[in-house]
Amino acid sequence: MRPLDGIVVLDLSTLLPGPMASLILAEAGAEVIKVERPGTGDEMRGYPPFQGGESLPFAMLNRGKQSLALDLKSPADRARLEPYLARADVLVEQFRPGVMARVGLDYGTLADRFPGLIYCSITGFGQSGPKAQVAGHDLNYIAETGLLALSMGPRDAPVVPPALIADIAGGAYPAVMNILLALQARARTGQGAHLDVSMTDNMFPLAWWALAQQQAAGPAPGNADGLLTGGTARYRLYPASDGQIVAAAPIEQRFWENFCAVLDLPEELRDDGRDPQATLAEASRIIRAKPGAYWRKAFEGVDCCCTLVATLAEALAEPHFRARGVMARRLALADGSVAHALPVPLSAALRSRPDDADRAPPLDGISG
């Protein structure tokens, strides 16, 4: 048995945060019923790339779920939702505050009838506060919380981060964590809960080092000048001569000493506390003088936390990840083709299911 076998989740969310959260719950055994708009469904169904006429991003996020097409503004469709509400242990939604109340599906209304319901609301700014009704996306959330300012590239050519940090680390993962804790509490008390998951609130733990520095020593680090954002020689992206990038993170002294030995850094610069910029400049010059292949071989087997930046294709071909089966799970598409399923952060011990391919739900794939 999987940990959530027997748990029923009604997922009214769209796009990324809620669907990723319910994907993880489904992988742990929950029955997930995805409620979508009639006709069009989740907006993610329209996002490329497509394979076999199906949105691959949608399929990756929604495999193993069921789908029910309902217009929540329609009294008749809300009546169709009733038997599912009666079965549900968890409800996930990510509308702006007040939207669910306008259709009679807010937590207060439902909790009176279903006191054990765990009701998880995922929003950008939370259920209360001056910005509760403000629209935004991931880039806005990391910008408004100071996280982006810590490392965004040169101001005349700023860089958009490679991951949707707020949606996943601030929305999906905290939602799963809170739902699991609420299920544990309900097992003792019989009571459900309203979980207020604010993606912006959850950005501040990601800036823990900068918050500590600001409180203890004055202003927080600026753009790319902190210990963990490229401000020192010990945590840095170094270009090699052929355009490849060395990712060097020899923060601890024992790793730093090994790093200096590989570079043959002059003795007077190995104490990087005396003249940090001189040490950084020389390390940069040395690494830039040789191609990436040279540094890959030079760092191989050396305990110094230094690697080359891999492309996604290179990472997928990496023997280590292949040996661990990171992308081994298969995703069946409507046309009969197969793709890689999206990995989820669950230990194999918690997702003891067969390896046959899941597929994304067809719209209104279960009867009303």
206 close to 165: Cβ distance less than 8 angstroms? yes
Give 11-75 as a 3 state SS string: ECCCCCHHHHHHHHHHHCCCEEEEEECCCCCCHHHHCCCEECCEEHHHHHHHCCCEEEECCCCCH
- Phi, psi values for residue 262, rounded to 5°: -60, -40
Catalytic, 137? Answer yes
Nearest of 9, 19, 34 to residue 362 by alpha carbon:
34
Residue tagged active-site, from 71, 77, 137, 196: 137
Catalytic residue of the set 167, 201, 272, 358: 167
Provide the strand spans (E) within 128-258: 193-198, 236-239, 245-248
Helix, strand or coil for residue 99? helix
> Residues near 265 by Cβ (< 8 Å), separated by ≥ 6?
259, 279, 282, 283, 286
Query: What are residue 269's phi and psi, to 5 degrees?
Result: -105, -5
Query: Is 167 labeled as catalytic in the residue annotation?
Result: yes
Sheet hosting strand 90-93, strand order edge to edge: 66-69, 31-36, 8-11, 90-93, 118-123, 193-198
- Residue 267, Cβ density class (10 Å: 0-12 exposed, 13-18 middle, ≥19 buried): exposed
Coil vs helix vs strand at 274: coil
The neighbouring-strand residues paired with 308 are: 246
d(CA 125, CA 145): 10
Report the DSSP pairing between strands 358-359 and 306-308: unpaired
H or E stretch covering 263: helix 253-263
Q: Yes or no: say if 97 and 132 are a contact pair by the CB < 8 Å rule.
A: yes
**What sign does the CA torsion over 57, 62, 68, 70 have?**
negative
Beta-carbon count within 10 A of 176 CB: 23
Catalytic residue IDs: 137, 167
